[in-house]
Amino acid sequence: MIKNGRLTPLDLVEAYLARIDTYEPVYQAFNTVLADQARAAAKAAGRRRHTGPLHGIPLAIKDNYWTAGVRTTANSHLFQDFVPPYDATAVARLKANGAIVLGKTQMGPLATTRATTPDGRITTVNAWTPTIPGTDPGGSSTGTATSVAGRLATSGTGTQTGGSITAPSNAQNLTGLKPTMGRVSLAGIIPLSYTRDHPGPLARDARDAAIMLTAMAGEDPADPRTQGLPRVPDLVEAATPVYSGRRLRARWSTRVGVLPGYADGTSATALARQAFLSTVDKIDGVRLVDVPLPDEWDLLTGNAFNNVRLPERSEPFMPYLRADLRGFGVSVTGWLQGALLGANEFVTGQRAKLLLLERVLDQVFERCDVVVQTGPVPFDILGLPEIGFPIGFTAAGVPIGTILGGAPYAEDRLLSVVAAYQAVTDWHWRRPPNPPAATALRSAAPAEDRGRLTADDVVAQMQ
Amino acid sequence: MAPTPPTDAELDVMIRARLASLGIDLDQLPPGTVSDPATGAPGRDSVFASLRSFVRGSVTALAAYQLPAPAGSDPAHAAALSQQPAPMLYPSISSEWRR
């Protein structure tokens, strides 16, 4: 509509700012709202030629992405006054494609858990249950998820180290894409674990996620992790459903791997998973195949081996750990754990990671092209791509999502499967109702009323 | 014979000494188990309990792990064979480059 002149960037931005003005006291999705900057950018976009697929599109940016001249806190005491001198590469690329930054979003302190203040007071609620702070909105990209689900932004950015894009996407009926390690530059993003942090989009559907990732992805001289990789394929085309006549078919013949126990049981989640499998199985060109769990799966993806990431957490923060432990607030324990894991165990963990990857490639991806996931962590350990998307609701109206994992650099394949699924389902079209005005007033009370996470809670939920 | 596992008190000394050797002073945290009201940082005793559990769990499990020898190889060679897989920080990238 913007490209055709039927909608101006300023009108679109004003519409989102109006919703933020009305509902942000309930959702508490943002750290900082950049109303004046967004209006100025929208006016400039209205005067400019079309600059890209995101021209005039208002986005929410997670508050661990550096933004030039705008406070970037990672929701931590440590960075409460940090104003970066330049944009993170991913933010700069979104802007270069025409995007407008509406604000910075609430997140788990230093990306460790669901969004709270640095001292643990719960802030952001699930947009589907705004009066029930106990309903997990997913973390740590909580604020981005709530802002998109609550229609305070069109799409947004997240980072994932242990499920922080797919979990909030699943919790709030969104499509979140964690790309392969290196697809998107991490330059200018406050680190959590440098081998596992993945920047990516949280969007309404596969096509929006593809547009976002296309803008964000690519080689960056400032990040060696992005260099020398296969080219970024046409993700938008991949996320466009394909028809033979009027009949939907898979863009590529695709074997969907199903892990043991994925859809077992009678819980709402199990029933939604069964329905999801039944639906994709009916798409021309899609075939379900049973795949085994790789050898030693539980051990190699379990807590101890996942904790190999923790020294990556402590090492870049040593000056902060020496200066003021209390500055880490409720999140400090993970950083101290990392300082206790010796190099000997760290190297063993790296050997095990390669073994796990070889088993996933040999024992899973020899049999299928994409594979269901029962949790995000195994593919976070390996840096492999994952996409979370909606597949139903509980009886209480809380979204249910699922995750598909892909082979290295197979974001296009993941998007194609989800786009085909979303062409024959409408879960992704569903929207939460607006919070009632009376609720808005009540929820504008201090965040203390929403509960508080302790340091032990953070360790238990740590990303 | 395997060494005797450390007691809580011994582990506390080790944890405090290890962190002090890095320049980290756990006395920055409030004493006991009550969190600092201003920052939410946990009490020192709570942190010690969590760190002891981490050392006994993750550190011990990782240290004890020996990579399996390939199927069909002589078990007598298991230790030597387990040294061969290279540690890789970025397995996705390294694996793609091998294809």
**Radius of gyration, alpha carbons of chain A:** 21
Domain count, chain A: 2
> Is residue B1 very low, low, confident or very high in pLDDT (cuts 50, 70, 90)?
confident
- Strand ranges (DSSP E) for A274-422? 284-290, 370-373, 386-393, 399-406
Segments forming the whole domain that contains residue A327: 295-358
**In terms of domains, do A264 and A195 share one?**
yes
Q: How many CB pairs under 8 A join A and B?
A: 167
Q: If DSSP codes are grouped into helix, strand and coil, which group holds residue A3?
A: coil
Q: Which of A128, A143, A65, A137 is nearest to A99 (CA)?
A: A65
Q: Is B13's Cβ below 8 Å from some Cβ in A?
A: no
* Residue A406 dihedral angles phi and psi, to the nearest 5°: -130, 170
With contact defined as beta carbons under 8 Å apart, do A350 and A311 qualify? no
Chain B residue with the nearest C-alpha to that of A408? B92
> Is residue B92 very low, low, confident or very high in pLDDT (cuts 50, 70, 90)?
confident
Question: Which of A354, A360, A364, A380 would best serve as a mutation to test chain B binding (most B beta carbons within 10 A)?
Answer: A354
Q: State residue A50's pLDDT score.
A: 85
With contact defined as beta carbons under 8 Å apart, do A462 and A112 qualify? yes
SS3 of A71-126? CCCCCCCCCCCCCCCCCCHHHHHHHHCCCEEEEEECCCHHHCCCCECCCCEECCCC
Pair of tokens at residue A291: 């795949």
Look-up: residue for tokens 């932004």? A153
Query: How many angstroms separate the CA of residue B45 from the nearest CA in chain A?
Result: 12
Helix (H) or strand (E) holding B62: helix B60-64
Q: Look at residue B97 and tell me whether its pLDDT is greater than 70.
A: no
Q: State residue A99's pLDDT score.
A: 98
**In terms of domains, do A281 and A304 share one?**
no
Q: Is A405's Cβ below 8 Å from some Cβ in B?
A: no
Q: State residue B86's pLDDT score.
A: 86
**In terms of domains, do A7 and A155 share one?**
yes
Pair of tokens at residue A16: 């989102």
Residue A452 belongs to some domain of the structure: no
> Is residue B90 very low, low, confident or very high in pLDDT (cuts 50, 70, 90)?
confident
**In terms of domains, do A285 and A423 share one?**
yes
Contact assignment for B41 to A345 by CB distance below 8 Å: no
Q: State residue A197's pLDDT score.
A: 97
d(CA A237, CA A247): 18
**In terms of domains, do A332 and A243 share one?**
no
ipTM above 0.85, yes or no: yes
Per DSSP bridges, beta strands A386-393 and A175-178 are: antiparallel
Residue spans of chain A under pLDDT 50: 447-448
- Packed helices A411-423 and A206-216: angle between N→C axes, nearest 10 degrees: 160
**In terms of domains, do A226 and A372 share one?**
yes
Q: Which of A410, A356, A406 is nearest to A381 (CA)?
A: A356
Q: If DSSP codes are grouped into helix, strand and coil, which group holds residue A49?
A: coil
**In terms of domains, do A33 and A52 share one?**
yes
Residue A440 belongs to some domain of the structure: no
Pair of tokens at residue B8: 């809580």
Contact assignment for A339 to B24 by CB distance below 8 Å: yes
- If one counts every other C-beta atom within 10 angstroms of the C-beta of residue A204, the result is 20
**In terms of domains, do A54 and A105 share one?**
yes
In sequence order, what DSSP letters do the residues of A199-225 get, joined into one string?
A: EEEEESSHHHHHHHHHHHBS-BTTBGG
Q: What is the CATH number of the domain that holds A225?
A: 3.90.1300.10
Which residues is A122 bridged to in the sheet? A116
Which residues is A289 bridged to in the sheet? A257
Pair of tokens at residue A235: 């993700």
**In terms of domains, do A287 and A301 share one?**
no
Pair of tokens at residue A72: 């970037």
Pair of tokens at residue A449: 């009323």
d(CA A218, CA A50): 21
- Give the model confidence (pLDDT) of B21-74 as tens digits: 999 999 999 999 999 999 999 999 999 999 999 999 999 999 999 998 888 899
**In terms of domains, do A175 and A84 share one?**
yes
Residue A455 belongs to some domain of the structure: no
Choose between B81 and A8: higher pLDDT. A8
**In terms of domains, do A223 and A310 share one?**
no
Look-up: residue for tokens 């260099």? A227
Q: Is A228's Cβ below 8 Å from some Cβ in B?
A: yes
Residue A447 belongs to some domain of the structure: no
Query: How many angstroms separate the CA of residue B46 from the nearest CA in chain A?
Result: 8
**In terms of domains, do A79 and A173 share one?**
yes
Residues of A in contact with B63 (CB under 8 A): 344-345, 348
d(CA A415, CA A370): 11
Residue A180 belongs to some domain of the structure: yes
Catalytic residue numbers of A, as ranges: 62, 140, 164
d(CA A241, CA A235): 12
Residue A456 belongs to some domain of the structure: no
In sequence order, what DSSP letters do the residues of A332-366 get, joined into one string?
A: HHHHHHHHHS-HHHHHHHHHHHHHHHHHIIIIITT
Total length of chain A: 463
Residues 35-94 of B with CB under 8 A from A: 35-36, 38-42, 46-47, 50-51, 54-55, 57-59, 61-63, 65, 67-68, 85-94
